[in-house]
Structure 1
Amino acid sequence: MLKKIRIDSFVIAIIISIIIAYFFPQFGASDSPVPMDLISSLGISFIFFFYGLSLSPQALKDGLKNWKLHISVQASTFLLFPILILPFFPLVKNTSYEILWLAFLFMAALPSTVSSSVVMVSMAKGNLPGAIFNASISGIIGIVLTPLWMLPFIKQTDVAFNFSAIYFQLITEIVIPLALGLLLRRFLGNWALKHKRTLNKFDKTIILLIIYKSFVQSFEDDIFSSVSLLEMLAMTGLVLILFLVVYSLTGWIGKRLKFSHADQITNQFCGTKKSLVHGTVFSEALFGQTSIVGIILLPLMFYHALQILIISVIATKKGNEVVQGLGIRD
């Protein structure tokens, strides 16, 4: 029997946050008595501190054995995605579409998701240890590679950026808390594991606050007046095309490398995902001082919704195929 497709509750929460930002901007406005910048800054630091607590050195060590799979996933995440976006830069340079292109490059340069990648691979009966390793290491690699992809193109825009502030924010809000979490893992690792669900809710709450604040800022500066409904629809279509192209290419690469069925699933599922958590956090560091944050996040939010919807359908189908192949009743 076909299972009903459920809309992810976090996607619904994101839409609600944007609606609240439009109708009730007073809490995130520039003259608001609520210190939203401080709250989001501390929230980001805690997200990466808890991320450090949750990382298992043993799992990372064991995961290194399947090096072909890991290179394929990380190359897809940090090379294939941006390479597919880069050729379009000359077409949009010095036009009104340059910021939208920058938003797509930002999405393309982001790390893979952690929780949803692992859950979907598990559903499809893929290589779960490989998924855990790649999802975990992706976030660490992204701290270095995502800004490196973005900064050369940010410098070419007409938007004023304080690059010393960007680097300072990346180090203080992301690198130091992550390193501190890794150092304290031996003392607090079990606590983080025990409260994993609560910490996951904390992460999502902070992300929703940042999205709310970002869209309030964009609405205040009327930044969305430059983006038409037709452009929004085109953006959704392009996001879908990008996903399907990468999913097809990772499938082809997996066959060329003669991956097992389980490794092929992990390669395609982890290699096509983009992290909304990291995206929201990095957007604060890279674009938080400007009014374009809302636009920068748009392709990522469309992609987040589509990747969950499409991969969940594929994961359910593949999982059922494995169960039926083993002769197990569901």
Structure 2
Amino acid sequence: MRRFLPDNFTLLIAAAVAVASLLPARGAFAEGFGLATDLAIALLFFLHGARLEAATVRAGFLHWRLQLVILGLTFLLFPALGLALGLVPETLLPHGLYLGLLYLCLLPSTVQSSIAFTAIAGGNVPAAVCAASLSNILGVVISPFLVGLLFTLGGGGGISGDAVAKILLQLLAPFLLGQLLQPWIGGWLRARKKLLMPVDRGSILMVVYLAFSHAMVEGVWNDFSLRDIGVVLALDVLLLASALGISLMVSRKLGFAREDEIAIVFCGSKKSLASGVPMANAIFPAATIGAIVLPLMLFHQIQLMACAMLAQRYAARAAAREATAARA
């Protein structure tokens, strides 16, 4: 039953939402907390750049066929699914939550969980490391571009020049600076993952608290009901099931080995909360971020539970094949 329970980080996110609901940031405190959040996000992307070895980026391009499939699933299939959700009537799915679902579909893949599930399932871990890393590197540029393009089609107003400048300054510039300094500080940072975890998770919790504080102050939640949240949950499940099924079918149709299939399934079906929440903070007006990131936070927990079960099934099948081969 433990695999059906929320992970600790999800519980912390829920706690941040609860605190924002009871004690939302207002006035001068909100402004100061917003500045601190911006600095924390810049530090987060600097650390991402500094910890990622340049050799990993180069290796990501060597298995180009696998990488193209995963990037296609992430930045072509998912956006197409997101646009298809626009067919759901607004009487069933409020427009603000639809935009959150569309935004979710435009994000890069996860890094840690994609690699972890690939390893549990017995897949191609080096390919998963390269694919997930490459997805996040390109996502800093591709995701905002897709937001600007597809939100106009989806009635979301596109992306402003100020938002583009903020992305370049707050996300891309720190990441590139981290890459430049990686040869000198990368090894030290990689050896201290637990020490730096509070920066990774703390920055996301700060954004969540600030986003839901703005939502409370602006009265955004007055527009949504429990039924609306239930519809978002159902559509999140539908998105994940579609992505898992299509990624499995594509990998088999193209003749990938089992290990590569596993990497494709786990890297091509997931969406990154760690990149999505800070990016939303840079792209969208403060009053709308709560509704934008809510579908992503729900999707985060759903994908962890579903992929944990799927990884265990892959591992069990591999163990059964090994046992059969040993008896033969």
- Deviation for aligned residue 1:155: 5.1
TM-aligned CA distance change 1:230 to 1:313, over 3 Å: same
> 5 Å matches for 1:131-280?
131-154=128-151, 163-280=160-277
**Partner of 1:8 in structure 2?**
7
- What TM-score do the two structures reach when normalised by structure 1? 0.91
Return closer, same or farther for 1:162/1:202 CA change in 2, 3 Å cut-off: same
Contact map agreement 2:94 2:228 (CA 8 A) in 1: no
Q: Cα–Cα, structure 1 residues 313 and 225, in superposed 2: closer, same or farther, change >3 Å? A: same
| Letter matched to residue 313 of structure 1 | M
The residue aligned with 1:32 is: 29
Deviates more, 1:313-322 or 1:229-238: 313-322
Runs of 4+ in structure 1 off by over 4 angstroms are 2-6, 90-96, 153-162
Distance 1:316 1:157, change over 3 A: closer
Q: What 5-or-longer segments of structure 2 have no aligned partner?
A: none
Identity rate of aligned residues, in percent?
A: 27
Residue 314 of structure 2 corresponds to: 318
Contact kept, 8 Å, 1:74 with 1:138, in 2: the verdict is: yes
Q: By percentage of residues, which structure has more helix?
A: 2
CA-to-aligned-CA distance 1:232-287 (integer Å, 9 cap, x gap): 10110010011001100000000111111111111010101100011101110111
Residue ranges of structure 1 left out of the alignment (5+ in a row): none
The answer to whether the Cα contact below 8 Å between 1:40 and 1:206 also exists between their aligned partners in 2 is yes
Distance 1:159 1:302 in 2: 21
Does structure 1 conserve the Cα–Cα contact (< 8 Å) formed by 2:124 and 2:260?
yes
What secondary structure sits across from 2:28 in the alignment? Answer: coil
Q: How many residues align?
A: 325
Going from structure 1 to structure 2, the CA distance change for 1:102 and 1:162 (only over 3 Å counts) comes to closer
Residue 303, structure 1, aligned to residue 299, structure 2: yes
Tell me how far apart the structure 1 counterparts of residues 56 and 159 of structure 2 sit (CA, whole Å).
38
Partner Cα distance (2:91, 2:168) in 1? 31
Once the two structures are superposed, what CA deviation does each residue of 1:106-161 show, in whole Å capped at 9, x if it has no partner? 00000001111111111111110011001101111111111111124545788888
**SS of aligned partner of 2:27:** coil
- Tell me what 2:73 maps to: 76
SS of match in other structure, 2:266: helix
The change in CA–CA distance for 1:312 and 1:208 in structure 2 (over 3 A counts) is: same
* Shift in CA distance, 81/157, structure 1 to aligned 2, threshold 3 Å: closer
CA distance in 2: counterparts of 1:98 and 1:5, whole angstroms: 30
The normalised TM-score by structure 2 is 0.92
- Counterpart secondary structure, 2:123: coil
Instruction: Return the offset for 1:168.
Output: 1.5
User: Does structure 2 conserve the Cα–Cα contact (< 8 Å) formed by 1:59 and 1:133?
Assistant: yes
DSSP-derived class of the 1:291 partner: helix
Distance in 2, matches of 1:306 and 1:19, equals: 20
Change (3 A) 1:162 1:69: closer
